[in-house]
Amino acid sequence: MTTAQTTRVALVTGGSGGIGRAVAERLGADGFAVAVHYAGNAERAKEAAAAVEAAGGRSLVVGGYVADEQAVAAMFDEVEQAFGGIDVVVHTAGIMLLAPLAELDLDDFDRMHRTNVRGTIVVAREAAGRVRTGGAIVTFSSSVVKLALPTYAGYAASKGAVDAITMILAKELRGRDVTVNAVAPGPTATPLFLEGKPQEAVDRLASMPPLERLGEPADIAEAVAFLAGPARWVNGQVLYVNGGVA
């Protein structure tokens, strides 16, 4: 861990595992100082931070629930104090609870809405006031918004809200030279995606893309690195990163 200022600084929410960790490692390899956020597992966050440093970046571990505005503000304060500012915010934190709509537990839906929608609003609102000129905000949507897969109604609804938030914020930041985009992964081999799915279902989903495999977290991190770095003329977009699933 270091408290020195570096050229570019990224905050990755949900950076302790899955896609978030891959994003943190990739940005570290690109020379970023990366703040790895976690909500519940500090040890995994420390492991991810060590991986960032092994990749060549600097690291910091920060915690807090993304839907809690005070915790998020404190988290941003900590990153700014450690690294001198924030250039990129990547908001990967989210939860997925699946059920047919007729059987959807409304408490589960409320949990997803609070984390996925309110959490995105809280993090994006804080990022909008803090990201430096030339920076980027990257939210996380999902390809299921357009794929309309059974059992995904509640989750897809929460991610459709992320699409709207992202496109509107991009317009609201006119004149700031800050891009705002969403990444919408398809089926990706993460613990969040694989949990509770029989192998038959996994195989069926892996066969959907023309490339005939599940995505890997590194595939998604590649797209995030593009939006966080060279993609200065991509703004207000939802980038589908799914191997060609349509």
Q: String of b and e for 3-22 (b: at least 16 CB within 10 Å)?
A: eeebebbbbbbbbbbbbbbb
> Could you tell me which residues come within 8 angstroms of residue 226 by beta carbon, excluding any fewer than 6 positions away?
234
How many residues make up the chain in this entry?
A: 246
Concatenated DSSP letters of 132-143:
EEEEEEEEE--T
Task: Choose among 124, 127, 29: nearest CA to 86.
Answer: 127
Catalytic positions, written as ranges? 155
Q: Cα–Cα–Cα angle for 213, 217, 221, nearest 5°? A: 120
Distance between CA atoms of residues 107 and 101, nearest Å: 13
CB 110 within 8 A of CB 161: no
Strand, helix or coil for residue 181: strand
